[in-house]
Amino acid sequence: MKLSQRMLTGGAVALALTAFAGAVQAECDWKPERPVTYIVPWGAGGGTDANSRMLASMLEAKMGQPFNVVNRTGGNGVVGHSAIANADPDGYTIGAVTVEITMMEHAGLTDLNQDDVTGIALVDIVPASVLVAADSPYQTLDELLAYAKENPGELTASGTSQGGIWHLAIAGLLNAEGMDPQAIRWVPSEGAAAGMQELIAGGVDVATPALSEGKALVESGELRALAYMNPTRMAALPDVPTTKELLGSEWTMAAFITVSGPKGLPEEITCSYEKAALEIFETPEWAEFKASRGADVVSMGSADLTEMMDQTYENLGATMKAIGIAK
């Protein structure tokens, strides 16, 4: 009896406090008091993992509590994203929500979408590319597309699973150019590295991973980059033309990595993490880390990120429907 009474009072006080906090401006100085779990829905060693581990270690230094990175892989990202979305919105579970959150509902994998998470900040944005092997007969994107138009279904491309983001990149490009999305057939692979290996081995004709993922192989001359699916050229590979320059449709496509929490994360916690993340993105350590991966520093807070995720959800949904992989 006594216990429940105390709980009631406690609850009332907490409610009053929340209401109070809501009434005045959020202070944005919430700090975790015990270790935080940082869920990464993709495997160790990949781009999402590297970015998230770096951010986690810097958050750890900034907020004074350990941030434990946990790779919850599987099910094309569904497992890890569900773990983030279903966590208690108390600030002690956050994670790396990636572009796939805007796709998995369209694909019929799950009911999960970007509404089930609270975007905190954008961590990285990685535009796709069109890569061919060094000994490929195609020197330009035009030549490649012309051949695919003449001989639909003869060429193959790889870089991720069926219906994955890099599949959308090429199928969407073909569709935007008024061609059959199947004109270049998709061969699924387990990730970009496996897809690029197929390309070098001569197993497929094209790969469409992020240009940053293919950068090392392009620089070493094993692969040739025909296009960068971005409005502007990559600083590290200035010779690679953009799809905006090359194509009438100005098609672009990029994947992104965020740091996000579960749905209903209190404003105070969200803006505290947002503030910490944006401050980290301005440090020279972060700039150095980004440069080492051939990427640019991005800086986008919670509000813009949420809008971007909603926008991506619409765009990718339309693309997936157009190329016939939406359920």
Partner 1 sequence: MAEVFELVFRWDVLSTIFLAACYGLFVGSVPGLTATMSVALLVPITFFLDPVPAVAAIATASATAIFAGDIPGALLRIPGTPASAAYVEEAFALTQKGQAERALATSLVSSCLGGLIGVALLAVFARQLASFAVKFSSVEYFWLGCLGLTAAVAVSSSSLVRGTLGLLIGLFISTVGIDIATGHARFTFGQLDLLDGVSFIPAMIGMFALSQVIRTVTTELDSVVPKAKVGSLSGEMVRVVRSYWKNICRSAVFGNILGALPGAGADIAAWIAYSLSKRFSKTPEKFGTGHAEGIADAGAANNSAVCGAWTPALVFGIPGDTVTAIAIGVLMLKGITPSPRVFTTDGTMVYAIFLAFALANLLMLPLGMVAIRVARQALSIPKRVLMPLILVFCIIGAYAVDNTLFSVWIMLGLGILAYFMEENGIPIAPAILGIVLGKVIEKNFLITMIKSQGEVAGFFDRPVAAVLGATTLLLWGWLVVLAVVRAARARKHAAAT
Residues near partner 1 (CB under 8 A) are 43-46, 49-50, 53-54, 56-57, 69-76, 78-79, 82, 107, 109, 156, 161-163, 185, 187-190, 193-194, 196-198, 200-204, 215-217, 219-222, 289, 292-293
Shortest CB 240 distance to partner 1, Å: 17
Spatial separation of the C-alpha atoms in residues 66 and 58, rounded to whole Å: 10
Spatial separation of the C-alpha atoms in residues 40 and 72, rounded to whole Å: 6
Q: Which is nearer to partner 1, 212 or 270 (CB)?
A: 212
Shortest CB 65 distance to partner 1, Å: 14
Shortest CB 84 distance to partner 1, Å: 13
Q: Which is nearer to partner 1, 59 or 308 (CB)?
A: 59
Q: Which is nearer to partner 1, 155 or 300 (CB)?
A: 155
Q: Which is nearer to partner 1, 113 or 189 (CB)?
A: 189
Q: What is the DSSP code (8-state) at residue 208?
A: -
Tokens representing 185?
Answer: 């057939």
Spatial separation of the C-alpha atoms in residues 59 and 199, rounded to whole Å: 38
- Specify whether the CB–CB gap between 302 and 118 falls below 8 A: yes
Shortest CB 128 distance to partner 1, Å: 18
Distance between start and end Cα atoms, the chain: 53
Q: Which is nearer to partner 1, 17 or 44 (CB)?
A: 44
Q: What is the DSSP code (8-state) at residue 205?
A: S
Shortest CB 133 distance to partner 1, Å: 11
**Hunting for tokens 């009438």 — which residue is that?**
248
Q: Which is nearer to partner 1, 28 or 193 (CB)?
A: 193
Shortest CB 168 distance to partner 1, Å: 13
- Specify whether the CB–CB gap between 131 and 209 falls below 8 A: yes
Spatial separation of the C-alpha atoms in residues 306 and 317, rounded to whole Å: 16
- Specify whether the CB–CB gap between 159 and 209 falls below 8 A: yes
Classify the C-alpha dihedral 192-198-203-205 as positive or negative.
Answer: positive
